[in-house]
Each structure stands twice: as C-alpha cells, then as structure tokens.
Structure 1
C-alpha cells in the first residue's frame, strides 16, 4: 500500500484545510444556537467540534473568522452572553444545517430562515431547536486563540436534552434513534445508520 507524504510546513493554509477536512471523517456536526446581547437569535453549524471530557463535561468548537477578519456571529454572541446550545442534527435536519450555514448578516434569524421551531433552554437563554435529537446547554468555560483567524471555544455542559426513545434505563443511548449525520469534505454528509460491532479480544 502506497501513501503520499505531506509536509504541513510547506503547505499553504487552504491546502492544509482541504487535507484535514477531507481526511478526518466523519466529523460530528455542532448546530450551535446563541443570542446576542439584544436577544436576537443566531444558528450556525460547525464540524471542527468535539467532546473533550465528562468530568467536567466540556465540548470544544473551533471557529474561524470571516475572510475580512470580522468575528462570526456565534463567537461574538458567546463572548457577549457566555451561553450557547450545541445540537446534534439528525438526517431530517440535514437541509436545515445547510440553510443555517448560509452567509447572511447578523440581522437575519437563521432559525426562522430554516423553519426551525425553538424555545429557550432550561439553564441558558439560547434557543433550543425542538426537533434536534440532542441539545447540550453550555456556558463558556474558556477560549484558546489558535491564530489571528481561528479560536477554540470550550463550553461547560450544564444540561442536556436527549430524544426520549433513544435513552435506555441505564442511560445508554441508542445511536439508531439519534440518527446523527456526519460531515465529510465539501457539501457531502454521511449517515450513522450503518452500524457494526467489533468483538473484543
């Protein structure tokens, strides 16, 4: 089996992005909702995202700036309020994920644009998307500047909503009931319905 070698020191940022976003697969999608200081809602998906720990329970979002250097609305809102909700979208929400990714101004409500019903969270004021199988209510824990164009936001999970039929008596979650989608390269997504188990040795 042959491989191509890439020295990241010799690649420009766009080529590094293409390699990483095309090779680290599938990436979970965080459909993040926030409010600004005036209470205007915002929703946007991010696939540079992951869970980091359970004690304390924290998730991380890697969010870049706009090409002109402006903060994205999600970052600006989290900085203002210290709150956000991470939703795990299922296959039924795939189109809404694409709609909320549209490059619109901060005055546009992406939740209304995508036709997503919502209500305030329990422990945060950010809107919770009612059809999402998973919603993690988060308070900003810390930020880690990576470069002039990207930072990592770490959120402490204060509460979770999980689709009821997906949660067993021992709190094991049935991934088939979550039906999460994953991000691939470009506009491509995948389903997590194709499950298999590997016997332990």
Structure 2
C-alpha cells in the first residue's frame, strides 16, 4: 500500500507514523502552572536531539475539539519555560497509565497515581520521587507547527539512581534501568528487560576482512 500524505486524514497519518517510528522512549513530563500546581503526563513523541548543548525534543499535540486548545503540559511549559522528563520504567507502568487519562479539570493525577514529588536540583519544577532517572530542562525553543507544539528543552541537570549507573563513565546501565517503550497508538509497548542485542559498531577494517572472506 502507498499513502499520499497530502490526501490522507491526519489520524491515518498518525497511526502510520506511530507504528513505523517505533519503539519510542516515553517522556513522563512534570510541569508546573503559574500558581505552583504540578501536572504529570506521558508523551511518546520524544527523543534526544543534540548533546552539545544537550537538547531534548518533545512533541505535544493540541487537544482536539471544535477548536484546538493547548494541553496543560504545553501551556505550563510555555508559561514557566521549564519541565522535567522522568524516565519511564516497568515498575511505573500502572502509574503512567493513570496519568495518561483525561480527567476533570482540577484533578490531581499525581495523587490518583499515588506518586510523590521531590525538588529538582536546578529548575523549579519537581521530579517524580519514584522515577529512577530524570532530566531537568529549560526551554530552548517552542515551535508551534500545525496542530501541535514541538518543545526543545535544554537539559540543565540529570539525576540517576546509583544502581542504574556505572560511575566510571558515567554510563547508564540499561539492563538495570528496565525502561519501557511505546510501539504505536493502540496501547502496545515493549520492555527492555531480557531483550538486549549485542550489536557492536563495525569498523571499515572489519568490513574489509569480512568481505574478503565471503
């Protein structure tokens, strides 16, 4: 099948993109409104884009309806210029599911999910206490594109539990972190525990040697 993007409905394109650009890390974002109320919500359009300076990209679609409206996370980030990405791991799966719900205005999703917050090291927005790693960000750029926002956040502080880090690098011990990843928009996810594949980078000299032996 071939799909003409200009003629296809946005939902169809969404379904195709989220199924093909996968697996994707999940950003469990904490943000804060101007009164100090903390919100937490997961997003699957997320990745790191640059390391010097360290930049994360976060895509947040507007709420659909008669007219598009900013989601609470996008509004908070626009107003405070800060957010925290908490790393999603297997033991937080149920809490993430709760925080992804559409809830009545004024509801406290953190209380509903029985999650606690702790002060961040640099930004005012707190991180999730139960999260094993977190990235504190200040806004670098906000791009309003079509029916969504692309938030570029500059990482200003990184937290990671000792058990998930090798201090000699430091390196992240992904086999200890047990993060989970989004596969598509139909509730499909993958876990990393027991699924690692050793695939070292190939050098030109190794390629020449392998090719000569074919």
How far apart are 1:88 and its partner, in Å?
A: 1.1
Superposed CA RMSD:
1.2
Q: Tell me which residue corresponds to 1:189.
A: 189
Q: 1:36 aligns with which of 33, 38, 53?
A: 33
Query: 1:99 corresponds to which residue?
Result: 98
Report the TM-score when normalising by structure 2: 0.88
Unaligned segments of structure 1, at least 5 residues: none
2:63 equivalent in structure 1: 66
> How far did 1:106 drift?
4.2
For 2:38 and 2:148, locate their aligned partners in 1 and report how far apart those are by CA, in whole Å.
Answer: 22
Question: Structure 2: any 5+ residue segments left out of the alignment?
Answer: 207-214
Aligned to 2:157: 159
Which residue of structure 2 aligns with residue 22 of structure 1? 19
Give the count of matched residue pairs.
Answer: 197
Distance 2:119 2:107 in 1: 18
Contact 2:31 2:39 in 1 (8 A): yes
Quote how far apart the aligned CAs of 1:163 are.
Answer: 1.8
4+ residue segments displaced more than 4 Å: none
Deviations 1:69-118 (CA, angstroms, capped at 9, x unpaired)? 12100011111111110011100011111110111244122111111121
Distance 1:15 1:78 in 2: 28
Tell me, yes or no, if the aligned pair for 1:88 and 1:133 is still in contact at 8 Å: yes
